[in-house]
Amino acid sequence: MYVPDFEYHAPNTVAEACAILAELGDRATVLAGGTDVLHKMKVGKLTPEHLVSLKNLDELREIREEPGRVVIGALASHNQIYNSRLLQRRYLSLPLAAHTMASNQICNLGTVGGNIVNGVPSADLPPILIALDASIRLTSARGERTLPLEDFFYGSAQTRIEPGEILTEISIPDQQTTGSTYMKFGLRRSGALAVAAAAVSVQVSGDTLHGVRIVLASAAPTVLRVTAAERSLIGRRIDDELLTEAGNFAAQASRPRDSIRGSAEYRKNLVGVLTKRALRKAIEEGHA
Partner 1 sequence: MAQAITDKDGVKRYLITLNVNGDAHTVLVKGNAILTNVLRDQLDLTGTKKGCELGDCGSCTVLLDGKPVDSCLVLAVEADGRQITTIEGVAANGRLDEIQQSMINHAAVQCGYCTPGMVLSAKALLTRNPNPSEQEVREAISGNLCRCTGYVHIVEAVMATAQGRVTPDDH
Ligand X SMILES: Cc1cc2nc3c(=O)[nH]c(=O)nc-3n(C[C@H](O)[C@H](O)[C@H](O)COP(=O)(O)OP(=O)(O)OC[C@H]3O[C@@H](n4cnc5c(N)ncnc54)[C@H](O)[C@@H]3O)c2cc1C
Residues 26-55 that bind ligand X (CB under 6 A): 29-37, 39, 54
Q: How far is the CB of 228 from ligand X (least distance, A)?
A: 26
Pairing mode of beta strands 208-217, 28-31: unpaired
How many Cα neighbours within 13 Å face the side chain of 71? 15
Pairwise CA distance, residues 59 & 188, whole Å: 35
Q: Decide: is 219 part of the binding site for ligand X (CB under 6 A).
A: no
Report d(CA 258, CA 239) in Å as an integer.
33
Question: Which amino acid type is present at position 274?
Answer: L
Among 19, 20, 92, 108, binds partner 1 (CB under 8 A): 108
By CB under 8 A, residue 240 contacts partner 1: no
Note whether 57 binds ligand X by CB under 6 A.
no
Positions 121 through 150 that interact with ligand X (CB under 6 A): 123-124
> How far is it, in rounded angstroms, from Cα 175 to Cα 208?
17
Question: 102 or 229, CB closer to ligand X?
Answer: 102
In the bound state, the residue with its beta carbon closest to ligand X is 114
Site size toward ligand X, by CB under 6 A: 28
Candidates 14, 46, 92, 109: give the one binding partner 1 (CB under 8 A).
109
Q: Does 80 bind ligand X (CB under 6 A)?
A: no
Exposed/middle/buried for residue 244 (C-beta within 10 Å: 0-12, 13-18, 19+): middle
Instruction: Give me the 58-77 binding string for ligand X, x by CB under 6 A, dash otherwise.
Output: ----------------x---
Among 95, 113, 127, 164, binds ligand X (CB under 6 A): 113
Query: How near is the Cβ of 5 to partner 1 at its closest, in Å?
Result: 5
Contact by Cβ (8 Å): 52, 21: yes
* Shortest spacing between CB 16 and partner 1, in angstroms: 11
Question: How many Å apart are CA 1 and CA 265, to the nearest integer?
Answer: 37
Which alpha helices (DSSP H) does the chain contain, by range? 14-24, 37-42, 78-83, 85-90, 93-99, 104-109, 112-118, 125-131, 227-233, 240-253, 264-285
**Which residues in this chain contact partner 1 in the complex, by CB under 8 A?**
1, 3-10, 12, 31, 33-35, 38-39, 42-43, 51, 53, 55-56, 79, 102-106, 108-109, 188-191
